[in-house]
Structure 1
Amino acid sequence: MDSSHVTFLHSGGLKTDPLFKGAKGNEYNLNDTKPFFEVADSEGGLFVGARRNAEDGAYYWRITPWVMPNFTMVPPRGDHPVHGHFWVPIDDENCWAYSFDYHPVRALTAAERQAMIDGHGVHSKNIPGTYRPEANMDNDYLIDREAQKRGETYSGVAGIAMQDASLQESMGPVVDRSRERLVPADSGIIKARQKLRRAVLALRDHGTVPPGVDPAHHRVRSAAVVLPRAESFLDACREDVKVTPGVRQSTV
């Protein structure tokens, strides 16, 4: 739900990852390191818009849908497959993270599928016969300080998926949120927590069915677009964030 970290944490992957590289949108990501965030409500969750500067006074928008309670879809890059995540709780301290790729108007290529198996894009390379990544907390995520010094990775951890995982898991299983300091880039997180809390209280007190249960709420797409500065991202992209069979993703 935070598009700002891509600029630094995944900067190497934008240039080299076979499921990311070559997209025009990557240039906007790397050239504008301070995106502006705007969050819009949806029936099933939220649309989180991250705005960066583009050419000729236009804005590059990356629109991330969050569908309650646990689903996000990452905005597309060029003609690469679209991807996203489901976060499914196991217990109070663990969850499964299911990551997926698909393309709205074509089958995935053999090269794309192999790249996913090899740990590119949002996927991890796993220990054979298991769902556990080869790079994990027990081996310090195979951190490579020399690659970090060469500028190949920001953190020394290879792979977009494991760069995210290393930050998330290293916080520990339960985080003291009273000590965190949220900033404008966290506006999607703030709105999501508020919407979750309202839904929990409405279910408890009135039996109200939470958003995200209706299958119609799942028929959304992420989008990456360039818009004139005067245009609202959601007003301009209402069709782009709907699922329309046979229509390709809106992408830059």
Structure 2
Amino acid sequence: MISQQLNDLITRIGPDTAAGAVHRKYWQPAALTDELPDAVAGEPPMLPVNLLGERLVLIRDAAGALSLATREAAADEPPAHHPARADIKLVAGGPTYPVVEKNGICFAYLGGGDAPAFPNFDCFRAPESHVFAFKGLWQCNWLQALEIGIDPGHASFLHRFLQDEDPSDGYGKQFRDKAANTDMPITQVLREYPRPEIKVEETDFGLKITALRHMDGDLTHVRVTNQIFPSAICIPMSREMIITQWHVPIDDENCYWYTMFTSFQNPVDKAVMRAQRLKEHSLPTYAPLKNRANNYHYDPAEQKSLTYTGMGLDINVHDQWAVEGMGPIQDRTREHLGRGDAAIIRYRRMLRKAIKELETGQAERLPMQDRQATSQLVGPLSNDAITGSEDWLAASLAADQERRSAAPWDAHI
């Protein structure tokens, strides 16, 4: 457990907060490219954006360049509100921020001074044909949204499927594939081996998290995921795809997850993946159709025979229920962390260290602030594999290299 003062320190992200200052030193997703409207009567496209506690508007000028400007808004404006174009009023002389488009997401930098470089991660260097971007609204603080993503153990419980689907029908869905080097569905692995050994290593970009599920027959399931500082994760979706997901604060009590689905070998079927996700979300806010108001469509009959949660097959709904159920801001003064929370503990230490370094004028010591070094970062490795228990590390690396070698784009590391 931690004190209320410390919980406030690491969760609050407004313009005058310590954790907010850290977030502003990094490129943050501000909108999907698809969200930008067309120009109206010769006026530039404008999209309202609420980001890091600020009311902003995304603007594309006549030359095609993007920027974020400050706009006027009522103090009680809903977090995902989209006012009409005629109601958008810019703040005269207000700050503007640079914006860069990357494979379907518009990233903004709110930190002042020189913006950091983008790492050469797979989601950024893959061609547009191999990346699909989407987002969703969660009504909770960004930190609890991130922390569920760096907890390898939760998948064996929260995402427990009592029946294993045919992996050939699982395109575009997580935990529907078979683990590399085996015919065992990932859902079966997670269900039958729920208590992984967790190893956490600090990296130049954040954390590498390895979950080892020791299986019968002297086999080990190796699942490698990553925390990308300050608020993103990179995890395997299938043998073909990885997920890079940012947990972006709208304000202290709401956040968006932005995801890039990156395919190594084949182009992404964007129409299929978008249709899958629009069955669960409403536009233009990208709010989930299953939510607290309708009890996340909980079905006790389903819970008996199909899923642990009884809330359908979309794992985003499971995660949403878990993180929103903690309240707008999780009360960490009452928690009791254990060995399974190794990555969460290590991440909080990283965040507190970054806060201290920024407050003492040592911003260059934050992860990925060296432009040259950051631009040369590749990967990260994110995959599932089953192998002999003694050579799990080599097998994990080999599985990663195998799919990279089949990519028609430069995926080498």
Matched residue, 1:141: 296
Matched residue, 2:386: 226
Question: What residue identity is the alignment partner of 2:261?
Answer: D
Matched-pair contact (CA < 8 Å) for 1:40–1:234: no
- How far off its partner does 1:144 sit? 1.4
Larger Rg over CA atoms: 2
Residues 106 and 164 of structure 1: CA distance in aligned 2, closer, same or farther (over 3 Å): same
Matched residue, 2:275: 117
Question: What residue identity is the alignment partner of 1:85?
Answer: Q
Query: Is 1:39 matched with 2:197?
Result: no
Is the deviation greater in 216-225 or in 139-148? 216-225
Matched residue, 2:222: 61
Residues 203 and 176 of structure 1: CA distance in aligned 2, closer, same or farther (over 3 Å): same
- How far off its partner does 1:217 sit? 4.3
- How far off its partner does 1:83 sit? 1.8
**What is the alpha-carbon distance in structure 2 between the residues aligned to residue 4 and residue 75 of structure 1?**
15
**What is the alpha-carbon distance in structure 1 between the residues aligned to residue 356 and residue 341 of structure 2?**
23
Matched residue, 1:70: 231
Q: Of 7, 11, 29, which residue of structure 1 is paired with 2:160?
A: 11
Matched-pair contact (CA < 8 Å) for 2:234–2:243: yes
Residues 211 and 244 of structure 1: CA distance in aligned 2, closer, same or farther (over 3 Å): farther
The CA deviation string for residues 7-42 of structure 1, in whole angstroms up to 9 with x for no partner, is 222122883472232413513222211111110111
- State the TM-score, normalizing by the size of structure 2: 0.52
Matched residue, 2:102: none
Question: What residue identity is the alignment partner of 2:214?
Answer: N
The CA deviation string for residues 96-143 of structure 1, in whole angstroms up to 9 with x for no partner, is 111231202220136xx4255324xxx871124431111112211111
Q: How does 1:84-103 map to 2 (within 5 A)?
A: 84-103=244-263
Residues 97 and 71 of structure 1: CA distance in aligned 2, closer, same or farther (over 3 Å): same
- State the TM-score, normalizing by the size of structure 1: 0.82
Is the deviation greater in 70-79 or in 176-185? 70-79
Question: What residue identity is the alignment partner of 1:193?
Answer: R
SS at match of 1:12: coil
- How far off its partner does 1:180 sit? 0.3
Unaligned runs of 5+ in 2: 1-149, 179-183
Is the deviation greater in 222-231 or in 200-209? 222-231
Unaligned runs of 5+ in 1: none
- How far off its partner does 1:154 sit? 0.9
Question: What residue identity is the alignment partner of 1:8?
Answer: F
Residues 183 and 100 of structure 1: CA distance in aligned 2, closer, same or farther (over 3 Å): same
User: Please, what is the CA RMSD of the aligned residues?
Assistant: 3.0
Query: Is 1:104 matched with 2:264?
Result: yes
- Select the structure that is richer in strand: 2
**What is the alpha-carbon distance in structure 2 between the residues aligned to residue 238 and residue 198 of structure 1?**
34
Is the deviation greater in 22-31 or in 67-76? 22-31
**What is the alpha-carbon distance in structure 2 between the residues aligned to residue 142 and residue 186 of structure 1?**
29
**What is the alpha-carbon distance in structure 2 between the residues aligned to residue 92 and residue 25 of structure 1?**
38
Matched-pair contact (CA < 8 Å) for 1:44–1:218: no
Residues 34 and 142 of structure 1: CA distance in aligned 2, closer, same or farther (over 3 Å): same
**What is the alpha-carbon distance in structure 1 between the residues aligned to residue 177 and residue 396 of structure 2?**
26
**What is the alpha-carbon distance in structure 1 between the residues aligned to residue 153 and residue 196 of structure 2?**
6
SS at match of 2:368: coil
Question: What residue identity is the alignment partner of 1:127?
Answer: S
- How far off its partner does 1:94 sit? 1.5
The CA deviation string for residues 64-91 of structure 1, in whole angstroms up to 9 with x for no partner, is 1111001101224334x22232111111
Q: How does 1:16-35 map to 2 (within 5 A)?
A: 16=165, 18=170, 19=173, 20-23=175-178, 24=184, 26=186, 27-35=188-196
> Identity rate of aligned residues, in percent?
25
Query: Is 1:212 matched with 2:368?
Result: yes
Number of equivalences: 241
**What is the alpha-carbon distance in structure 2 between the residues aligned to residue 197 and residue 238 of structure 1?**
35
Structure 1 outlier segments of 4+, above 4 Å: 243-249
Residues 22 and 93 of structure 1: CA distance in aligned 2, closer, same or farther (over 3 Å): closer
